[in-house]
Amino acid sequence: CRSEASVRLERTMAQTYKPYLFCVRSTLNAALCLRNFPSQIVERHNKPEIEVRGSKELLLNPIVIARTEQEKCLIEGSVNSVRVSFAIKQADEIERILCHKFTRFLMQRSEQFVIMRRKPVEGYSISFLITHTHLEKMIKAKLVDFIIAFMEDINKEISAMRIALNSRARIVAEEFLKDFAA
């Protein structure tokens, strides 16, 4: 069904994407060394310190891993939580609209993703929040694999949507112009 050129292009894209994904994977593995840490301010409260930002000594330096200026990953860590944000490549206005609609669709269903935030960090397309309780319930390696697979799949989905949109627009334009040719 797919042409040989599109398969070659996909392989080339996968090869250029590998170092970026490897860097994100290894950084996530290092950042996901979390532990239970109750609030220092309020007794019997256990909130993600990366969200609350109550004590600066509990926060780690944020790490930005950038493939390009538009496509980057922000990993913000603390003693009991990690926030991972992605900026998805948006080359033009069509990709910007598709990305916004698709990520909004996913974020509205964030309960099914468990670790997905409803609102991304400013300047990023989508964000995840991983706490120590998530790591107690889930396997760390599988969580990292999910995030990496999510990064790969979201780019493929947006590219596929763009191709489908362009082919539909071409068909509509051909049908519209047939009336003028006749």
- 100-145: per-residue pLDDT in tens? 999 999 999 988 989 999 999 999 999 999 999 999 999 999 999 9
Sign, CA torsion 148/154/155/157 = positive
Give the burial string for 17-52 (b: 16+ CB within 10 Å, else e): eeebbeebbebbeebbebeebeeeeeeeeebbbbeb
Beta strands per DSSP E along the chain: 63-66, 72-77, 81-87, 126-131
Q: Please report, as a single letter, which amino acid is at residue 174.
A: E
| Cβ-based burial of 127 (10 A; exposed 0-12, middle 13-18, buried ≥19) | buried
Q: Please report, as a single letter, which amino acid is at residue 49.
A: E
pLDDT (tens place) for every residue of the chain, 182 residues total: 455 655 555 565 567 788 999 999 999 999 999 988 877 777 777 788 888 887 888 899 999 999 989 999 999 999 999 999 999 988 889 999 999 999 999 999 988 989 999 999 999 999 999 999 999 999 999 999 999 999 989 988 998 999 999 999 999 999 888 888 76
| Cβ-based burial of 121 (10 A; exposed 0-12, middle 13-18, buried ≥19) | middle
Gyration radius (Cα) of the chain, Å: 20
The rounded distance, in Å, linking the Cα atoms of 153 and 53 is: 32
Report the candidate in 5, 14, 31 with the shortest Cα–Cα distance to residue 83. 31
